[in-house]
Structure 1
Amino acid sequence: MTPTGLDADIVVVGGGPAGATAADDLARAGRSVVLLDRAGRIKPCGGAIPPRLVRDFDIPADLMVARISAARMVAPSARTVDMPITDGGYVGMVDRDVFDEWLRDRAASHGAERRTGTFERILHDADGATVVEYSTKEGETVRLRTRCVIGADGARSAVGRQSVPGAERVPCVFAYHEILRTPDNAPAPYDPQRCDVYYQGHLSPDFYAWIFPHGETMSIGTGSARKGFSLRGSVSALRAATGLETAETIRREGAPIPLKPLRRWDNGRDVILAGDAAGVVAPASGEGIYYAMLCGRLVAEAAEEFCRSGNPQALRNARRRFMKAHGRVFWVLGMMQYFWYASDRRRERFVAICQDKDVQRLTWQSYMNKELVRRDPLAHVRIFFKDLAHLFGLVRA
């Protein structure tokens, strides 16, 4: 039975980068789309975007509040290693409240209908229509009849937990950061064009802490999967150590960050996940904006194929395409986090490896272009043997 009287071909739950991108692409393709989002929530995020994202998704330069030209890695011993970006490359920094809203507005400008509310459940009518129920701020329950639901509602997605087997088991790091107003005379070693990354066990026993410039503001935060570890205490210690304890705090934010793509993104019928809900945040780095937007685009393509053909098998294509393009990168980063973040002794050696010019060049090329660099196989061989030497303690850290 073919359902009639639908409110939209597709309902997208969640208006972050993944959901807004999916809604925009589908609206441009001529599909009727409802973009359902909760108002006022800002995800804790360093806000880094690579040039590849700017190109692929037509992001205007004025959304970037800073252009980063280097990273500084800080070891447990407090030794620092600077990694300059060469050949005109950069890391763009965006404020998520402004950036996400711009993406939602762009989707609406192309025909997506924006709704504000909290997702409650997915049901099915007798004629086969999929029904999304959500509640408004006033407490009203609203029903939307549709053909397909895209769950882009973040880590531990409510859409995923209800609909996709295994979605409740995604491993997460819990991230916490504080947005500070950048002092007029920011204390050294702060540099408005450099990201500082702290690989120190007392700041994170299994991830890292950071200070990222955002022009008039800065993000200072940390993450950990270890229960009982005080994220606020860690950020407070980092602020004190860097002379930022008296800087004005604008807001505080925390959320789980998934670090492994789910084995399945769809329910084989009418629901597919995107972004954090699908687990597409890079291990080791925690980078998520580019991967979320690419995931949103691939999910939109799969949802369009499903709506056109009526074959729910089309929904599986999104994960296949994503993992074909980036599965190896995620595996490499996962292994890197497993080995190098395990102890301060290994973190010290990891920072030492970052002094290597081959490591720096290939790291930035891979980050900016979002693909493993294959043009210089000898550099990869050199790095491999240097990694082994550091791992087994054959060289000084």
Structure 2
Amino acid sequence: MFDVVVIGAGPSGATAAEDLTRSGHSVAMLDRDGRIKPCGGAIPPRLINDFLIPDNQIVAKIKTARMISPTGRNVDIPIEDGFVGMVDREYFDEFLRKRAEIAGAKRYTGTYLRIDRDGDGTHVVYRDKTSGEERSLHTRLVIGADGARSGVAKAEVPGGEKINYVIAYHEIIEAPTTSAAYNPIRCDVIYDGVISPDFYGWVFPHGKSVSVGMGTGIEGVDLKNATAELRARAGLTECLTLRREGAPIPLHPMDKWDNGRDVILAGDAAGVVAPSSGEGIYYAMVGGRVAATAASACLVTGHTRDLQLARKLFMREHKNVFKVLGAMQNAYYRSDERRERFVSLCHDVDVQKLTFEAYMNKRLVKARPMAHLRIGIKNLAHLTRMIPATRV
């Protein structure tokens, strides 16, 4: 019998598996092989420090973020005193899985089917990739880290069948040798209804390659056509396409992350993707860590109420950030006129400094009350149309 079976071994599941094995627990890690999640790949310095990511996993170091409005207005935000790291999920996820395996987690490859329970305990049933046979893993607890359309969440946790999400699509292409519109140390974020009517598009450097993509929650939007338009605008149409990927991204954390018995959710399965930005890697890994903490506590005390610790610990630190980002998305992503105002607001020096301090450190900055006041006044002026959309 394992102490914990982790279903899904992306950044969240692999982090949970590694933390639990390093705490002395026996862990099985079940994952499908060969799946690469579409992702811009940005990771902040706090992730690099908190999760000990070596420099060889960083494929690019970004020094500037460019916001592009529906009218084509560019606002460049410098990243002072540091950088935003970029990773390629094809290699980054496998690095995390191997690190968990080296720490002691047992790795299994197959497709999760269900959780069975009998007098002997809990059994995770899966279809083995090699043999095609149904097999099971006997365990005391389960961590469901199997993505936004989590089968574990749907079957085991109240509300798990109702997760709202947007669809993200991107193409990994060869980086151009020359391009007037492309900069290998700059991330471009495109707020334009032609690209995405309710989210945004991106061009994110990955060293020798580039992630070009967009997201939307509106049915009927042609993601491939929108990405082709994005590539054309960035002068990347002729670049060789290496792979194409699409997947759902949840919109907000679930109200409950455990079943009160033997299951905890983590990462996208729990809905922990930041509103507005769509950032997921950092929050997925934090979600894996708090799930491991809750599972470890439950294993030690025998109290199933300790499973609730995962959500409590996560929300205690990140709830306010999610609220602010959610309010910003609701206010500014609803029309091109609002997107134009949002990019205009990003020209403000106070906005730039506070935004990136919060992004880099994953905390709201409270030490500059006058800056917050100035931003609040400008924000109100834009939302009430007291000033033109293109005015700083």
TM-score, normalized by the shorter chain, greater than 0.5: yes
1:124 to 111, 114, 117: 117
| 2:352 matches 1:352 | no
Match of 1:339 in 2: 331
Q: Distance in 1 between matches of 2:83 and 2:372?
A: 23
Match of 1:95 in 2: 88
Q: Distance in 2 between matches of 1:390 and 1:94?
A: 35
Q: Distance in 2 between matches of 1:241 and 1:94?
A: 24
Deviation at 1:311, TM superposition (A): 1.0
Matched positions, count: 388
Deviation at 1:396, TM superposition (A): 2.2
Letter in 2 for 1:302: A
Q: Distance in 2 between matches of 1:384 and 1:304?
A: 43
2:20 to 16, 26, 42: 26
Please list the CA deviations of residues 241-273 of structure 1 after superposition, one character each: whole Å capped at 9, or x if unmatched. 222111100000000000200000000100000
Q: Distance in 2 between matches of 1:363 and 1:194?
A: 17
Q: After alignment, is 305-314 or 278-287 more displaced?
A: 305-314
Match of 1:84 in 2: 78
Match of 1:54 in 2: 48
| 2:297 matches 1:305 | yes
Letter in 1 for 2:188: D
Match of 2:214 in 1: 222
Please list the CA deviations of residues 41-74 of structure 1 after superposition, one character each: whole Å capped at 9, or x if unmatched. 0000000000000110111011000000011110
SS in 1 for 2:309: helix
Match of 1:69 in 2: 63
What's the TM-score, normalizing by structure 2? 0.98
Match of 2:102 in 1: 109
Q: Distance in 1 between matches of 2:162 and 2:279?
A: 20
SS in 1 for 2:36: coil
Match of 1:3 in 2: none
Letter in 2 for 1:9: D
Q: Distance in 2 between matches of 1:198 and 1:383?
A: 22
- CA RMSD across the alignment: 0.7
Q: Which runs of 5+ in 2 are unaligned?
A: none
Match of 1:146 in 2: 139
Match of 1:329 in 2: 321
Match of 2:31 in 1: 37
Letter in 1 for 2:162: R
Match of 1:159 in 2: 152
Runs of 4 or more above 3 Å deviation: none
Deviation at 1:188, TM superposition (A): 1.4
SS in 2 for 1:167: coil
Q: Distance in 1 between matches of 2:384 and 2:82?
A: 33
Contact 2:181 2:235 in 1 (8 A): no
Match of 1:287 in 2: 279
SS in 2 for 1:178: strand
SS in 2 for 1:147: strand
SS in 2 for 1:116: strand
Match of 2:180 in 1: 188
Q: Distance in 2 between matches of 1:225 and 1:19?
A: 25
Please list the CA deviations of residues 70-90 of structure 1 after superposition, one character each: whole Å capped at 9, or x if unmatched. 11110000011111111x121
SS in 1 for 2:34: coil
SS in 2 for 1:197: strand
Please list the CA deviations of residues 290-325 of structure 1 after superposition, one character each: whole Å capped at 9, or x if unmatched. 001011000000000111111110000110111110
Q: Which runs of 5+ in 1 are unaligned?
A: 1-5
Q: Distance in 1 between matches of 2:253 and 2:330?
A: 16
Letter in 1 for 2:5: V
2:359 to 360, 364, 367: 367
Contact 2:12 2:267 in 1 (8 A): yes
Letter in 2 for 1:58: L
